[in-house]
Chain A
């Protein structure tokens, strides 16, 4: 069952997955180009001073939104076709447990995102470790962790919104989702987010169950 669902989801979303990979790769390249430019214009001493003493971020500000954008993109490409003409009925009619089917759909998206984010994070860490000390690179990875968690959270919340059958509820869920995602983007000095990461991870795991609520309403025929 899982293999068949993965096959279906891959056929459905492969263009979006390649697009998401291209966006992540483009942003990673942009981060390196911008960092290199800063070294050339300001000099290594000034950049190091900024990074160590002033907590200047290594990554461009736009990077914080990219994982969430990619999460929403993947979720839309996966669940809008399911809800068009209420095709989710076809999926739920398959001879397998409905919860297991839905969990497989969500697990596919979450795994794709984790792979994309992990690869991006690894490339950034390896690249920056050539010019910064490990402590600063470690802080960069820690500080960017909430953004990647926000990406997975945005993916799950978008699935929750897409599968909701009633438009006014979708709008309400959208507002709730935006507020919840805001917790992942709280500013602070380097490493300040560390204590919050377990809670944000727990919350992201909790979001995995939200789409089941919408699917239940879809099954009941909510209007």
Chain B
């Protein structure tokens, strides 16, 4: 299967602060991939690089095989972009913005836009500048659905949304992606929303990718282990993630099963070892640490 997004050896820094070094990943056609990372790990930076709004120090990203800084109009028509904060042209009203975008896209589905907006308490002549962030998010989503792109790139789609709008956004997006076999690449701070949506997770740490695996594999295989130990346990042990303690109560995270973890911890006098299943948010904390 051809990758829709392909990033090869991306290195970028802001001044002396290195953001990534030789970052490589790809997104396959028809998959929903979430880019997770703590603040400052460069999630928005990668979205900017992907769309050609930032030139990295080195490396190249390709969308549908075209380099990011030379995307053809035909490829741009296949890419739906949601900017962080659901940024839109706020001087338009609901009807005007649809009329404007509709002239650019050959597959424009006007009805998809108005169907979604019918659920909102907005009039066709209401200006976008007078809308709440939640209402604006639905306008942005409606425009994306009407564009009917093959690839959706969503930068922090949950930013500023209350739980109701977040859920609405996720449900519509999930339905849209599954029904149309669309590729979606998204970032969000609210990881519990991602659990319902994404097939694959890319977890970023400062300067690198920590993990790129199917979400199901993480949810089924990654465990938190709690145990007690009389003395110190090394923070870094092969196969264990973010081992830490409060008093003599310890916790660690691992993809290994209980038997293997017990074997690794035995030299340190670990007792009362018990495994816990994790939500995606807990797994994210386990992978990236609390601090």
Contacts and interface: CB of A to CB of B under 8 A. Distances in A.
Do A and B interact with each other, yes or no?
A: yes
Contact of B55 (A81, A86, A92, A220): A220
Contacts of B89: 8, 12, 81, 87, 90
B81 interface: yes
Contacts of A221: 48, 53-55
Interface string B16-56: 00000000000000000000000000000000100111110
B52 A219 contact: yes
Interface string A73-110: 00000000100011101101111110000000000000
23 contacts: A4-B100, A4-B104, A7-B100, A7-B103, A8-B100, A11-B91, A81-B90, A85-B87, A86-B83, A89-B53, A89-B83, A90-B87, A90-B89, A92-B53, A95-B73, A95-B104, A95-B105, A96-B104, A218-B53, A219-B52, A221-B48, A221-B53, A223-B14
Which secondary structure dominates chain B's binding surface? Answer: loop
Given A87-B87, A219-B69, A4 B103 contact: yes
Interface residues of B, number: 28
A79 to B, nearest CB: 13
Interface residues of A, number: 24
Nearest to B105: A95
Given A95-B73, A95-B105, A219-B53, A90 B91 contact: no
A3 interface: yes
Interface string A3-28: 11001100110000000000000000
Contacts of B54: 220-221
Nearest to B80: A93
A44 interface: no
A87 B77 CA distance: 18
A99 to B, nearest CB: 12
A11 B76 contact: no
B81 A93 contact: yes
B77 A95 contact: yes
Interface of A: 1, 3-4, 7-8, 11-12, 81, 85-87, 89-90, 92-97, 218-221, 223
Nearest to A220: B55
B258 interface: no
B87 A96 contact: no
Nearest to A2: B103
A1 B103 contact: yes
A90 B83 CA distance: 8
A218 B54 CA distance: 8
A186 to B, nearest CB: 39
Given A81-B89, A95-B73, A11 B96 contact: yes
B99 A7 contact: yes
A202 B48 CA distance: 37
B51 A89 contact: yes
Nearest to A15: B91
Nearest to A89: B53
A175 B90 CA distance: 31
Contacts of A8: 89, 92, 100
A81 B73 contact: no
B246 interface: no
Contacts of B104: 1, 4, 94-96
Contacts of B83: 85-86, 89-90
A90 B89 CA distance: 8
Given A11-B96, A218-B53, 20 more contacts: A1-B103, A7-B103, A8-B92, A8-B100, A81-B89, A81-B91, A85-B85, A85-B87, A87-B89, A89-B81, A90-B81, A90-B89, A93-B51, A94-B104, A95-B104, A97-B73, A219-B52, A221-B48, A221-B53, A221-B55
A8 B83 CA distance: 19
Contacts of B79: 93
B242 interface: no
Interface string B50-91: 011111000000000000010001101101010101011111
Contacts of A89: 51, 53, 81, 83, 87
